[in-house]
């Protein structure tokens, strides 16, 4: 199971690297063309915007794993150990319910938008809005993978020295 989790995290990370690289290439090429030829790619801004949307939704789960989202811990810190565990378990259940709801809402919205197309690429908006249910599905998987240590100890999948080689950047390249 640990190996499958590692593969899942690595694939999620590589997807983000590829999207960010694609966005950087398109924006860079558009800037270069604009200054060198006085012409720009009419679809570059659209591609960059949609890649940013996909980056945001698909990257949220990786940030959740390491506790990178905003958290207010005053109540948790004021509770005894058992109360802290119960609060964290309730938080996990609430998040799972919310993420599941957002998958459903995102899918419904994406389906409603399937017949509209983007202005420059003429791509069905279904592909743009699919980022929401995909991203929240990834959040569910990531939350389920970290739920036990989070509930029991309040720990996230923090990157320690041995873990950093495998998870800091996809493929273990830490630059």
Whole-number Å distance between alpha carbons of 135 and 142? 10
Do the Cβ atoms of 44 and 29 come closer than 8 Å?
Answer: yes
| 41 is a domain residue | yes
Domain that holds residue 62: 2-170
- Residue 171's pLDDT is what? 46
Look at the chain and report how many structural domains it folds into: 1
Our separate counts of H helices and E strands in the chain read 7, 0
Which tokens is 107 given?
């899918």
pLDDT digits (tens, 9 = 90+) for 70-96: 888 889 889 999 999 999 999 999 999
pLDDT digits (tens, 9 = 90+) for 38-71: 999 999 999 999 999 999 999 999 999 988 888 8
Average pLDDT over residues 136-156: 91
| 175 is a domain residue | no
pLDDT digits (tens, 9 = 90+) for 92-145: 999 999 999 999 999 999 999 999 999 999 999 999 999 999 999 999 999 999
| 32 is a domain residue | yes
| 65 is a domain residue | yes
Type and span of the H or E element at 45: helix 44-65
């Amino acid at each position: 199971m640990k190996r499958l989790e590692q593969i899942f995290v690595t694939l999620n990370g590589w997807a983000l690297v590829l999207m960010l690289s694609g966005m950087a290439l398109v924006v860079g090429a558009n800037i270069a063309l604009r200054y060198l030829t006085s012409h720009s790619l009419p679809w570059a801004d659209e591609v960059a915007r949609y890649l940013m949307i996909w980056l945001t939704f698909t990257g949220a789960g990786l940030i959740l794993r390491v506790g990178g989202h905003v958290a207010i811990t005053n109540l948790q810190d004021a509770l005894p150990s058992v109360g802290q565990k119960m609060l964290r378990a309730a938080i996990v259940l609430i998040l799972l319910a919310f993420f599941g709801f957002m998958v459903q809402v995102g899918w419904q919205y994406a389906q409603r938008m399937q017949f509209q197309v983007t202005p420059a690429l003429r791509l069905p908006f279904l592909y743009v809005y699919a980022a929401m249910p995909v991203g929240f599905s990834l959040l569910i998987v990531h939350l389920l993978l970290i739920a036990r240590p989070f509930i029991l100890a309040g720990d996230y999948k923090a990157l320690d020295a041995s873990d950093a080689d495998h998870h800091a950047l996809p493929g273990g390249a830490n630059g």
